[in-house]
Homo-oligomer: A and B are copies of this chain.
Amino acid sequence: MERASSAPCDEQLLARLAGRGITPTPQRLEVARALFGRCEHLSAEEVHASVNADGRHVSRATVYNTLGLFVSRGLVREVIVDPARVFYDPNTDPHHHFFDADAGRLIDIDGDNVAVTGLPPLPEGTELDGIDVIVRLRHSR
Protein backbone atom coordinates (compact mmCIF):
# COMPACT_ATOMS: atom_id res chain seq x y z
CA MET A 1 0.00 0.00 0.00
CA GLU A 2 1.59 3.18 -1.04
CA ARG A 3 0.32 6.64 -0.60
CA ALA A 4 2.67 9.48 -1.18
CA SER A 5 1.82 11.11 2.12
CA SER A 6 1.98 8.18 4.47
CA ALA A 7 4.86 6.34 2.81
CA PRO A 8 7.20 8.79 1.16
CA CYS A 9 9.51 7.16 -1.34
CA ASP A 10 13.21 6.99 -0.79
CA GLU A 11 13.90 9.89 -3.09
CA GLN A 12 11.87 12.18 -0.90
CA LEU A 13 13.65 10.91 2.17
CA LEU A 14 17.03 11.27 0.52
CA ALA A 15 16.21 14.84 -0.37
CA ARG A 16 15.10 15.48 3.16
CA LEU A 17 18.37 14.16 4.59
CA ALA A 18 20.41 15.99 1.98
CA GLY A 19 18.63 19.23 2.84
CA ARG A 20 19.96 18.94 6.37
CA GLY A 21 23.44 17.86 5.34
CA ILE A 22 22.98 14.33 6.64
CA THR A 23 24.94 11.63 4.84
CA PRO A 24 22.42 9.05 3.82
CA THR A 25 23.14 5.50 4.86
CA PRO A 26 20.89 2.47 4.67
CA GLN A 27 20.37 2.58 8.43
CA ARG A 28 19.48 6.25 8.45
CA LEU A 29 17.03 5.68 5.64
CA GLU A 30 15.42 2.93 7.67
CA VAL A 31 15.03 5.21 10.63
CA ALA A 32 13.71 8.01 8.44
CA ARG A 33 11.23 5.62 6.88
CA ALA A 34 10.00 4.56 10.30
CA LEU A 35 9.48 8.17 11.34
CA PHE A 36 8.09 9.68 8.14
CA GLY A 37 6.32 6.60 6.88
CA ARG A 38 3.57 6.90 9.43
CA CYS A 39 1.79 9.72 11.18
CA GLU A 40 2.72 8.69 14.65
CA HIS A 41 4.98 9.82 17.40
CA LEU A 42 7.45 7.07 18.07
CA SER A 43 9.75 6.46 20.96
CA ALA A 44 13.32 5.41 20.30
CA GLU A 45 12.47 1.86 21.26
CA GLU A 46 9.51 1.89 18.91
CA VAL A 47 11.68 3.12 16.07
CA HIS A 48 14.14 0.37 16.85
CA ALA A 49 11.37 -2.22 16.87
CA SER A 50 9.84 -0.86 13.70
CA VAL A 51 13.13 -0.85 11.84
CA ASN A 52 13.85 -4.39 12.89
CA ALA A 53 10.36 -5.71 12.24
CA ASP A 54 10.56 -6.16 8.51
CA GLY A 55 13.46 -8.56 8.49
CA ARG A 56 16.13 -5.91 8.42
CA HIS A 57 18.39 -5.05 11.29
CA VAL A 58 19.73 -1.83 12.71
CA SER A 59 21.42 -1.86 16.08
CA ARG A 60 20.10 -0.03 19.07
CA ALA A 61 23.16 2.20 19.23
CA THR A 62 22.72 3.25 15.63
CA VAL A 63 19.05 4.00 16.12
CA TYR A 64 19.82 6.19 19.11
CA ASN A 65 22.73 7.86 17.32
CA THR A 66 20.59 8.49 14.29
CA LEU A 67 17.70 9.92 16.27
CA GLY A 68 20.11 12.22 18.06
CA LEU A 69 21.56 13.29 14.74
CA PHE A 70 18.12 13.94 13.27
CA VAL A 71 17.15 16.06 16.26
CA SER A 72 20.37 18.06 16.16
CA ARG A 73 19.79 18.78 12.49
CA GLY A 74 16.18 19.72 13.00
CA LEU A 75 14.79 16.87 10.94
CA VAL A 76 12.60 15.66 13.76
CA ARG A 77 11.62 17.07 17.08
CA GLU A 78 11.99 15.64 20.52
CA VAL A 79 8.92 15.73 22.74
CA ILE A 80 9.39 14.99 26.39
CA VAL A 81 6.16 14.25 28.18
CA ASP A 82 6.85 11.02 29.98
CA PRO A 83 9.96 10.22 31.96
CA ALA A 84 9.90 6.72 30.57
CA ARG A 85 10.27 7.76 26.99
CA VAL A 86 11.10 10.52 24.61
CA PHE A 87 8.91 10.77 21.55
CA TYR A 88 10.23 11.74 18.16
CA ASP A 89 7.93 13.87 16.09
CA PRO A 90 8.45 14.13 12.35
CA ASN A 91 6.36 17.29 12.33
CA THR A 92 8.78 20.16 12.81
CA ASP A 93 6.29 22.96 12.22
CA PRO A 94 5.54 24.94 15.36
CA HIS A 95 2.85 22.99 17.13
CA HIS A 96 1.88 21.62 20.50
CA HIS A 97 0.54 18.40 21.97
CA PHE A 98 -2.25 16.70 23.73
CA PHE A 99 -0.83 13.98 25.92
CA ASP A 100 -3.03 11.18 27.07
CA ALA A 101 -0.94 9.57 29.77
CA ASP A 102 -3.39 6.72 30.35
CA ALA A 103 -3.08 5.63 26.76
CA GLY A 104 0.51 6.81 26.28
CA ARG A 105 -0.74 8.73 23.29
CA LEU A 106 0.48 12.01 21.90
CA ILE A 107 -1.63 14.08 19.51
CA ASP A 108 -0.49 17.13 17.58
CA ILE A 109 -2.15 20.47 18.08
CA ASP A 110 -1.64 22.76 15.14
CA GLY A 111 0.41 25.76 16.21
CA ASP A 112 -1.24 28.35 14.01
CA ASN A 113 -4.06 29.26 16.33
CA VAL A 114 -2.36 28.71 19.63
CA ALA A 115 -0.84 31.66 21.41
CA VAL A 116 0.88 31.90 24.75
CA THR A 117 0.69 35.37 26.22
CA GLY A 118 1.89 37.02 29.37
CA LEU A 119 5.28 35.37 29.62
CA PRO A 120 7.88 37.27 31.62
CA PRO A 121 11.21 38.29 30.06
CA LEU A 122 13.77 35.52 29.70
CA PRO A 123 16.42 35.16 32.38
CA GLU A 124 19.74 36.93 31.76
CA GLY A 125 22.11 35.24 29.39
CA THR A 126 19.52 32.96 27.85
CA GLU A 127 17.64 32.93 24.62
CA LEU A 128 14.49 31.21 23.53
CA ASP A 129 14.88 27.68 22.28
CA GLY A 130 11.19 26.93 21.91
CA ILE A 131 7.91 26.74 23.73
CA ASP A 132 6.19 23.44 24.37
CA VAL A 133 2.57 23.47 25.37
CA ILE A 134 1.47 20.12 26.71
CA VAL A 135 -2.21 19.67 27.33
CA ARG A 136 -2.45 16.72 29.66
CA LEU A 137 -5.57 14.64 29.37
CA ARG A 138 -7.21 12.05 31.51
CA HIS A 139 -9.96 9.68 30.51
CA SER A 140 -13.38 10.85 31.59
CA ARG A 141 -15.30 8.22 33.50
Q: Which residues of A contact B (CB under 8 A)?
A: 80-83, 85-86, 98, 100-101, 107, 109-110, 112-120, 122-123, 125-140
How often does this chain occur in the complex, in copies? 2
B86, B114, B137, B139: the one within 8 Å of A83 (CB): B86
Contact A125 B140 (CB under 8 A): yes
Contact A129 B133 (CB under 8 A): no
Contacts of A100 in B (CB 8 A): 123, 126
Interchain residue pairs A-B with the least CB separation, the first 8 = A113-B118, A126-B137, A129-B136, A129-B138, A132-B134, A127-B140, A114-B118, A130-B136
B83, B112, B140: the one within 8 Å of A126 (CB): B140
User: What's the minimum C-beta distance from A130 to chain B, rounded to whole angstroms?
Assistant: 5
Contact A137 B131 (CB under 8 A): no
Contact B119 A128 (CB under 8 A): no
**Given known contacts A80-B81, A140-B126, A119 and B135 CB-to-CB distance under 8 angstroms:** yes
User: What's the minimum C-beta distance from A99 to chain B, rounded to whole angstroms?
Assistant: 9
